[in-house]
Structure 1
Amino acid sequence: MKLKVVIHTAEEGGYWAEVPAIPGCATQGETFEDLLQNLYQAVDACMSVDVDAAALSEHDHIMEIAV
């Protein structure tokens, strides 16, 4: 799986990054190498969260919207 990552230079030094495809998935590192290592751990942790499926009845509808 490939994910796009947005890498920012932190004002106080080092770096921080976010994964737009996984809301809330972000991390930081003092060096670029630290950041990469932390990114793998953050993505693994974010993807391992169990999310209960929504309870749907026969009267419910599923719709996808763009915002």
Structure 2
Amino acid sequence: MKFAIVIEKDEDGYYVVKVPSLPGCHTQAKSLDELMERVKEAIELYLEVKKNVEDGEFIGVQVVEVKTG
């Protein structure tokens, strides 16, 4: 499978990559070579987790109230 990625460089000098077609799939590294390795791993893990979640049974959504202060 092929995925388009977006690469940016942050203010600390890290390369940051996002995978727009996989919400929440992102990683960072100091070098582009390391970044490419990490993004492949991130995509593989994302797809593995997604598959496991899809195999589960949906129970429902609830609202939880938490008192603060």
| Superposition TM-score tier, normalisation by shorter sequence | 0.7 to 0.9
The runs of at least 4 consecutive aligned structure 1 residues that moved more than 4 Å come to none
Partner SS for 1:51: helix
Alpha-carbon distance in structure 2 between the residues aligned to 1:22 and 1:37: 17
Q: Give the drift of 1:52.
A: 3.1
Corresponding residue number in structure 2 for 1:62: none
Q: Which has the higher helix share?
A: 2
1:8-56 deviations in Å (ceiling 9; x for gaps): 111101200000111100000100011001001100110001123676x
Corresponding residue number in structure 2 for 1:5: 5
In the superposition, the TM-score normalised over structure 1's length comes to 0.74
Partner SS for 1:17: strand
Alpha-carbon distance in structure 1 between the residues aligned to 2:13 and 2:25: 20
Unaligned runs of 5+ in 2: 59-69
Unaligned runs of 5+ in 1: 56-67
